[in-house]
């Protein structure tokens, strides 16, 4: 993984991605790391490391939770920086119709690749909790959020394929 990975996104995709990462960043900003996590979506990002041993799970959480949540913040911030440095500054509502399909070439170096993979994954985990996805069959074609969720998976999978080439 030494040469950068090239990712092509349309301007409208980049705008939606920016918007999603912004929302994720806000969610993390509202989370106080050392307190109990009331939001099951945030809790999914720091699962129990021990089954059937609450004491060991709590001790592990005390040692790792705030580091892990900080990593999510750092990864999301780096992803926003790479998006913006490649021209993805426009939000979905501000997009001009004639620009929507314009393609943006995004070059990801090693550190940015990992930040993208982990952030796309984390956002999908949060969305899955919000959407109540508990098995491989959960889906709702009438709910646009499922479309966004699948699109993120498609982009994540594409990034992994590009890494393999």
Site residues (CB under 8 A) for other proteins?
1, 45-51, 56, 60, 64, 67-68, 71, 117-118, 121-122, 124-125, 128, 133-136, 138, 153-154, 156-157, 160-161, 163
Distance of closest approach, residue 21 Cβ to other proteins, in angstroms: 15
Distance of closest approach, residue 156 Cβ to other proteins, in angstroms: 6
- Nearer to other proteins by Cβ, of 15 and 41: the residue is 41
Q: Describe the chain by its helix, strand, coil percentages, rounded to 5.
A: 65, 5, 30
Distance of closest approach, residue 136 Cβ to other proteins, in angstroms: 5
- Nearer to other proteins by Cβ, of 58 and 128: the residue is 128
With CA atoms as reference, report the closest residue to 129 among 37, 40, 45: 40
Distance of closest approach, residue 71 Cβ to other proteins, in angstroms: 6
Is the CA virtual torsion 35, 41, 42, 45 positive or negative?
positive
With CA atoms as reference, report the closest residue to 128 among 29, 44, 10, 4: 44
Rg (CA), the chain: 17
- Nearer to other proteins by Cβ, of 27 and 49: the residue is 49
Give the Cα-Cα-Cα angle 23, 49, 120 (nearest 5 degrees). 30
**DSSP class of 38:** -
- Nearer to other proteins by Cβ, of 1 and 144: the residue is 1
């Amino acid at each position: 993984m030494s040469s950068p990975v090239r990712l092509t996104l349309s301007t409208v995709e980049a705008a939606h991605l920016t918007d999603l990462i912004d929302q994720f960043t806000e969610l993390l900003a509202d989370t106080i790391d050392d307190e109990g996590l009331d939001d099951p979506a945030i809790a999914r990002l720091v699962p129990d490391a021990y089954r059937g041993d609450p004491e060991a799970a709590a001790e592990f959480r005390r040692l790792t939770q705030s580091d892990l949540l900080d990593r999510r913040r750092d990864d999301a911030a780096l992803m926003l920086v790479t998006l913006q440095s490649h021209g993805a500054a426009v939000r979905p509502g501000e997009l001009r119709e004639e620009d929507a399909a314009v393609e943006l070439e995004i070059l990801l170096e090693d550190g940015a690749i990992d930040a993208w993979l982990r952030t796309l994954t984390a956002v999908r985990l949060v969305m899955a909790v919000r959407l109540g996805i508990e098995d491989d069959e959960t889906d709702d074609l009438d709910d646009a959020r499922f479309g966004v969720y699948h699109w993120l998976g498609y982009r994540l999978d594409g990034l992994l394929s590009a890494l393999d080439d």
